[in-house]
């Protein structure tokens, strides 16, 4: 599948999606969003792929935000289009683990793409902000809902209302990202993460992600009940038996996704 504003490649178990507009700091246009939807769908349907990563081309930006040349002419009807808010939702709902590999600035709509991912890894020169308030608007891609759930209400309000810019160290301390690496280590780190995920039985990361997503949207009791049924389903798989045998025989398991 051809892309104009993205680079898409599959490397072993990793599908790497790169926003490829470095001349405008990877600002996200509606065409970029449309291609991101297609790329995530393509990676989700590829049986070789066990993890999906999104990053930005060049050393300066993951994504600087929405393309302001389009926002200037965007009206209420366009703002309500599912394309805008939907990419973060798609990354969150995709059964496969998703990783944001953040290099440089990650602002506005770019941050909202990263917030939709399950894991966020950043370089030490990364920074994060929601500057929409200075433009007379609010975030429209999920930041008002996902930020409080990730960093807590107080820091979410600091970022949203004050336009607080977080450096990489602060982002790590608040749990906005889980790992910090030197810029040259960003993609190698993500590839190693994908290889690690690929070492699990195929059902395991899918079930873990589903348990967290659905559990956080319901009550603790409902989540625990769902977890018990999910574990029970995995106990009946061939991969569970192979995993136990491999552990006892001190060898690497050979999982088949059955």
Q: Is 32:58 a contact under the CB 8 Å cutoff?
A: no
Q: Is 7:20 a contact under the CB 8 Å cutoff?
A: yes
CA angle 31, 32, 34 (to 5 degrees): 65
Rg of the chain (C-alpha set): 19
Q: Cα 91 to chain center, whole Å?
A: 6
89 is catalytic: no
Terminal CA-CA length for the chain: 30
User: Of residues 42, 132, 242, 249, which has the active-site annotation?
Assistant: 132
The residue with tokens 């991912």 is 117
112 is catalytic: yes
CA angle 188, 190, 35 (to 5 degrees): 115
In order, the DSSP letters of 149-206 are: HHH-HHHHHHHHHS-PPEEHHHHHHHTS-SEEE-GGGHHHHHHHHHHHHHTS-THHHH
CA–CA distance, 252 with 83 (Å, rounded to integer):
42
CA–CA distance, 207 with 129 (Å, rounded to integer):
32
User: Of residues 35, 112, 184, 227, which has the active-site annotation?
Assistant: 112
The residue with tokens 């319901």 is 218
Instruction: Give catalytic residue positions.
Output: 112, 132
């Amino acid at each position: 599948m051809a892309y104009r504003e993205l680079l898409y490649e599959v490397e072993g178990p990793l599908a790497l999606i790169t926003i490829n507009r470095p001349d405008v700091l990877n600002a996200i246009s509606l065409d970029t969003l449309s291609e991101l939807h297609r790329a995530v769908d393509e990676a989700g349907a590829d049986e070789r792929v066990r993890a999906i990563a999104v990053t930005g081309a060049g050393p300066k930006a993951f994504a600087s935000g929405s393309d302001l040349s389009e926002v200037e002419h965007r009206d209420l009807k366009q703002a309500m289009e599912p394309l805008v808010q939907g990419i973060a939702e798609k990354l969150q709902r995709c059964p496969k683990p998703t990783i944001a590999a953040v290099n440089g600035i990650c602002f506005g709509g770019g941050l909202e793409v990263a917030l939709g991912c399950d894991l966020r890894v950043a370089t030490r020169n990364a920074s994060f902000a929601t500057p929409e308030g200075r433009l007379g608007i609010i975030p429209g891609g999920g930041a008002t809902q996902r930020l409080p759930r990730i960093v807590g209400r107080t820091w979410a309000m600091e970022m949203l209302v004050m336009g607080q810019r977080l450096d990489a160290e602060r982002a790590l301390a608040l749990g906005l990202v889980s790992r910090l690496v030197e810029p040259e280590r960003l993609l190698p780190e993500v590839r190693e993460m994908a290889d690690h995920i690929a070492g699990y039985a195929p059902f395991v990361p899918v079930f873990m992600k589903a348990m967290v997503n659905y559990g956080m949207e319901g009550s603790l009791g409902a989540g625990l009940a769902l977890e018990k049924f999910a574990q029970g389903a995995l106990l009946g798989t061939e991969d569970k038996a192979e995993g136990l045998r491999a552990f006892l025989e001190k060898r690497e398991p050979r999982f088949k996704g059955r």
